[in-house]
Amino acid sequence: MEISYSLSEENYLNHQLFHASESMIIRKRRFRSKYIFPLVYLLLGIFLYAVKSPVLGYIFGGLGIVWFFLYPFYETGAYVKQYKKLIKENFSESINKTVNLTLDDTHLRLVEGVSEAKIDYSEIKQIAEIPHEILIKISNGNTIIIPKNQISNLESVAKKLEEIADKLQIDYLDYSQWRWK
């Protein structure tokens, strides 16, 4: 089975944001930013209010509440901005170039311009399907991104990848409802 497609900046962005949402380090950092910092401000506000400084108590308490509700919007946009910059710096050569992916019986072959890679199926660690892409994670840490909107026979490609996942006893994860938030 052969598939031809080209990757856009949006495909790379979706991959980076999905990877960030699955990273335990980033999830902990985001949890701290969303819950711990506002809680500290709120507790500091309560403490200051209790020790006869109600104005500072209201200021810190209010800051904690405002942080809790507004910071997630800022943080979401900051990650998007950061990853767009990273993509422009590191992947600008690959954007809008034609990629040919061949799924054989024992390996997949990836051709992009003059570069060619032959990857044995045993090197595949995970296959994840997100709303606009299929992501094939390889053991060396790289990921093959397949944009769904450019695949005419998407069902047969997904079925073939599910068969590969079953054969290798690896995860085929369906994140079709995933979105960056």
Chosen domain end from 90, 116, 138: 90
Distance CA 108, CA 117 (A): 8
CATH number of the domain to which 103 belongs: 2.30.29.30
Distance CA 52, CA 57 (A): 9
Tens-place pLDDT, residues 152-177: 888 989 999 999 999 989 989 999 89
Domain holding 79, by residue range, is 11-90
Chosen domain end from 29, 57, 90: 90
The pTM of this model reads 0.86
Chosen domain end from 90, 108, 134: 90
Q: Are residues 105 and 74 in the same domain?
A: no
Q: Are residues 22 and 85 in the same domain?
A: yes
Distance CA 168, CA 166 (A): 5
Phi, psi dihedral angles at 103 (to 5 degrees): -105, 105
Tens-place pLDDT, residues 97-133: 999 999 988 899 999 888 899 999 999 999 999 999 9
Sign of CA dihedral 20, 136, 151, 4: positive
- pLDDT of 8 over the 90 cut: yes
How high is the pLDDT of residue 181? 86
Residues 6+ away with beta carbon under 8 Å from 142: none
CA-based radius of gyration for the chain: 22
Asked if the structure places residue 49 within a domain, the reply is yes
Strands 124-129 and 171-174: parallel
How many structural domains does the chain have?
A: 2
Tens-place pLDDT, residues 29-74: 999 999 999 999 999 999 999 998 899 999 999 999 999 999 999 9
- With CA atoms as reference, report the closest residue to 129 among 110, 104, 107, 147: 147
| Residue listed under structure tokens 């405002």 | 66
Q: Are residues 49 and 118 in the same domain?
A: no
Partners of 101 in beta bridges: 3, 110
Beta strand segments in the chain, E: 2-6, 98-103, 107-112, 115-120, 124-129, 133-138, 143-147, 171-174
Amino acid at 167: K
